[in-house]
Amino acid sequence: MKYVVTIQHPAHVHFFKHAIRELEAEGHEVHVFARDKEVAVDLLDAYDIDHEVLLDGQGDGLLAGVGGMAASQVQYEYKLLKRAREIRPDVMTAIGGTAVAHVAALVGARSVVFTDTEHAPANKITFPVADEVWTPECFHDDAGSKQEEYAGYHELAYLHPNRFDPDPSVLEDLGVDPEKKLVVLRLVSWDASHDVGEAGFDDIGDVVERLEATGAQVIITSEAPLPDELEDRRATVEPHRIHDVLAYADLFVGEGATMAVESAVLGTPAVYVNTLRMGYTDEIEARYGLLYNCQGAYRHANALDTAVAILSGEEGDDWDARRERLLSEKGDTTETVLRALRQ
């Protein structure tokens, strides 16, 4: 069979990488197309996944903002359609999947869309056209008759124990002080379509000061430029090694849901600071106690108070047991992906 996989974000590389390898090992033809957003292409290169870049970032010099996003989406879909007509795929798949759903309908392919983001504006123009919409069971919205639910999270496609074994050498490479607790701080750029109008921390300098006052070492991974005085705390490891860092960290604090959940499924407590709420972050907090949602006007102060409480031991120390409960109830999501694509 011929498959087309599209990549719009670095996390999509992780999500599909094992499925791509297994499909290729079975003799299928897999074509990977990407938007060059953040480190997505770097990750494809690091994992030696053959790919073609269709669009550089948000577009070829298009204006930023909502209008620019819409224009670049049209440009992206046109380029994907042109290539799909040449390939004539049987199945097209993506996370979010707006372009895949539209193009597949035009070339006679089956479209398989994966999503865990209820608030994504593009859902309204994707779900009606897609052949299948696969969501975690905790997805709050009803995607209609095409919806398929599964027990898992996107992050378990690559961080389930079947798929990932952390490498402790990353700590030495980062210069982590073994006498200090390690905190990973994640900052986002707020330029995604579903981020419009949302917010996270009020003052990054205050965040670092409060965390370091506990005696912890803070390393920062950021989509946006950092203030000069914080630049020396930026994580310097290759992008594909960030999960090793999360696995050995004592705490994650950040604005990005993906990395918060990555930390949680690895057994590292995560403080998620964002005005957005999603089904999977809510479930991981309520059912497993591995993630703390901090929303609302006081999210900054609440997040820091929670982070300090975790570092001091006030929130307990049974993180591994909480993770084991999660893993006993959630499966290897790559198996779900393969089941969906092989149908």
Each residue's pLDDT, cut to its tens digit, for the chain (343 residues) gives 999 999 999 999 999 999 999 999 999 999 999 998 888 999 999 999 999 999 986 544 444 555 677 888 999 999 999 999 999 999 999 999 999 999 999 999 999 999 999 999 999 999 999 999 999 999 999 999 999 999 999 999 999 999 999 999 999 999 999 999 999 999 987 444 433 334 568 899 999 999 999 999 999 999 888 999 999 999 999 999 999 999 999 999 999 999 999 999 999 999 999 988 899 999 999 999 999 999 888 899 999 999 999 999 999 999 999 999 999 999 999 999 999 999 8
Q: Closest Cα to residue 201, out of 211, 192, 193?
A: 211
* CATH classification at residue 76: 3.40.50.2000
Q: Which domain holds residue 183?
A: 169-329
- Give the strands of the sheet with 291-294, arranged side by side: 217-222, 182-187, 251-254, 270-273, 291-294
Same domain for 286 and 193: yes
Spatial contact of 100 and 94, defined as CB atoms under 8 Å apart: yes
Q: What type of residue is 262?
A: E
Q: Tell me whether residue 336 is in a domain.
A: no
Q: Tell me whether residue 270 is in a domain.
A: yes
Spatial contact of 145 and 126, defined as CB atoms under 8 Å apart: no
Determine the length of the chain: 343
Neighbours of 61 (CB within 10 A): 9
pLDDT, residue 193, reads 40
Same domain for 312 and 177: yes
Q: Tell me whether residue 109 is in a domain.
A: yes
pLDDT, residue 63, reads 46
- For tokens 């440009």, the residue is 75
Q: Tell me whether residue 158 is in a domain.
A: no
Burial 174-199 (b: 16+ CB within 10 A, else e): bebeeeebbbbbbbbeebbebbeeee
Tell me how far apart the alpha carbons of residues 150 and 116 are, in angstroms, rounded to a whole number: 11
Spatial contact of 55 and 75, defined as CB atoms under 8 Å apart: yes
Phi, psi (rounded to 5 degrees) for 98: -60, -50
With a CB cutoff of 8 Å and minimum separation 6, the contacts of 265 are 153, 155, 156, 159, 160, 290, 323, 326, 327, 330
With a CB cutoff of 8 Å and minimum separation 6, the contacts of 256 are 186, 187, 188, 274
Q: Which of 101, 119, 150 is the last residue of a domain?
A: 150
Q: Give the pTM.
A: 0.92
Neighbours of 166 (CB within 10 A): 16
Parallel, antiparallel, or unpaired: how do β-strands 251-254 and 132-136 relate? unpaired
Spatial contact of 122 and 9, defined as CB atoms under 8 Å apart: no
Same domain for 143 and 189: no
Same domain for 195 and 316: yes
Same domain for 138 and 173: no
Q: Which of 86, 119, 150 is the last residue of a domain?
A: 150
Q: Tell me whether residue 197 is in a domain.
A: yes
Same domain for 129 and 200: no
H or E segment and range at residue 44: helix 40-46
Count of structural domains, the chain:
2
Q: Which of 87, 118, 150 is the last residue of a domain?
A: 150
Tell me how far apart the alpha carbons of residues 123 and 299 are, in angstroms, rounded to a whole number: 27
pLDDT, residue 66, reads 57
